[in-house]
Amino acid sequence: MSAFDESAKVWFSGRFVDWKDATIHVMSHAVHYGSTVFEGVRCYDTPKGSAIFRLKEHVKRLFNSAKIYRMDIPYTFQEVFDACVETLKVNGWPDAYLRPLVFRGYHSLGVYPGDCPIEVVIGAWQWGKYLGEEALAAGVDVRVSSWTRMAPNTFPALAKCGANYMNSQLIKMEAMADGYIEGIALDSNGYVSEGSGENIFIIFDGDVLTPPLGASVLPGITRDTVITMAEELGYTVKESLIPREMLYIADEVFFTGSAAEVTPIRSIDRITIGSGCRGPVTEELQQRFFAYVNGELPDSYGWLTYMKFN
Ligand code: PPE
C-alpha cells in the first residue's frame, strides 16, 4: 500500500488535479536527465491552527535553484507561495509535508532542454519522523559514507536539484545496507559535508559548529534556524571546516532538515558520541525548534504562515 493519501489533490501547473491524474509522459526531459529542482516544507498542527514553517525561504530557494539551472519558472514568487498554501488548504490535513517541484517537461529529448516546458507541481502528504519514531529522543546510529558529496563546480550544492539525490541515494542505501539509518558524506577535500538529506552540526568545546556553504552543503533552512536559535541562546556559532575525526570526539552531533527536524546522532562508525544519547545542547535547540514551529515562541522573524481552513 502506498504511504500517500491517494485521495489528495496535486497542484499541477496552475490547477488542482486528482492524485491519480498527476502524471507525466515517460519521454519528459526530467525523467531522462534528472532536470528537476524541488523543496520540502513542513506544515505543523499548532495550538493556533496549522502553520507552514518558513515557506518564504523555501520558495526563495526554489527560485534560486531554478535560476542556477537556467529554468525560467513561469509563475511569480507570490503565485508559487500562494499555490503552496492552497495545496495544503484543499487537502485539509492539520499537519503535512509539502513538495513543490519544478521540472523540464515533455517536448523532445537531447541534453539541451530546448523547448521542453518548465512545469511546476506541488504535492503533499503526511510524513512522520524522517529517521524513525524514536530518533528525536534516542538519537540515531550513522556511518561516514564511502561516497563523497559532489565536488565544487560539478553539481552545484546550493541548488536543491533532483540529480543531487542520486548521490544522496548512494549514501543512504550504503548506510542502510550496513545496518545504519543514515550516512554522513565528506566533501571532495575530505571534510565533513552533510547527510544524504540533512545538514550536520557538532557541539565542540561548548561551541556550535557546522560546515560552511563551501563544503558542498545545501543551504538548509533548518540549518539557518538552528544558527539563529543558537545565537539567541548565547552560543558561539562557527561555520568551519570539520575534519572527519572531529565528529568522533565532539560532545554532541545532530542532523537538521525540514524532514529530519533536529535529530541527535548517538554513534558514528560504531563510535559512541558523547554519552551516547541526546546531549543537553541538542535538546535545548530541539526544544526551541519545536517551540518555534508550534508557535509557542513569539514569531519575531515571521517564520510561520498560519492557515485558515474553510
Ligand atoms: N542537505 C540535504 C542534502 C537535504 O536534502 C536537506 C533537506 C537538507 C540538507 C536540509 O535542508 P532544509 O530542509 O532546508 O533544512 N532534505 C529534504 C528532503 C529529504 C528527502 O528525503 O526527500 C527535507 O528535509 O525536506
List, in sequence order, every residue forming a beta bridge with 41; answer none if it has no partner.
98
CA dist 140 and 102 (Å) reads 32
Q: Rounded CA gap, 216 and 211, in Å?
A: 9
What gap in Å lies between CA 286 and CA 225, rounded to an integer?
A: 11
Between the CA of 21 and the centroid of ligand 1 the distance, in Å, is: 27
Query: Alpha-carbon torsion 85, 90, 96, 97, what sign?
Result: negative
- Counting DSSP H helices and E strands in the chain, the numbers are 8, 17
From the list 255, 154, 250, the residue with the least C-alpha distance to 199 is: 255
Is the pLDDT score of 308 beyond 90? no
Give the active site residue among 160, 172, 238, 308.
Answer: 160
CB of 278 closer than 8 Å to CB of 286: yes
Q: Which three cell numbers stand for residue 208?
A: 556550535
The stretch 218-229 carries a mean pLDDT of: 98
pLDDT digits (tens, 9 = 90+) for 85-126: 999 999 999 999 999 999 999 999 999 998 999 999 999 999
C-alpha 5/C-alpha 84 separation (Å) is: 17
Q: Please report the pLDDT score of residue 185 as a whole number.
A: 98
Retrieve residue 146's grid coordinates.
564511502
> 115 CA distance to ligand 1 centroid (A)?
30
Confidence of residue 132 (pLDDT cuts 50, 70, 90): confident
Q: Taking the model in full, what pTM does it have?
A: 0.97
Which residue has its alpha carbon closest to ligand 1 atom 3?
Answer: 197
Residue 309 has pLDDT above 70, yes or no: no
Question: What are the tens digits of pLDDT across the range 258-282?
Answer: 999 999 999 999 999 999 999 999 9
Whether the Cβ atoms of residue 302 and residue 225 lie closer than 8 Å to each other: no
Tens-digit pLDDT profile for residues 175-221: 999 999 999 999 999 999 999 999 999 999 999 999 999 999 999 99
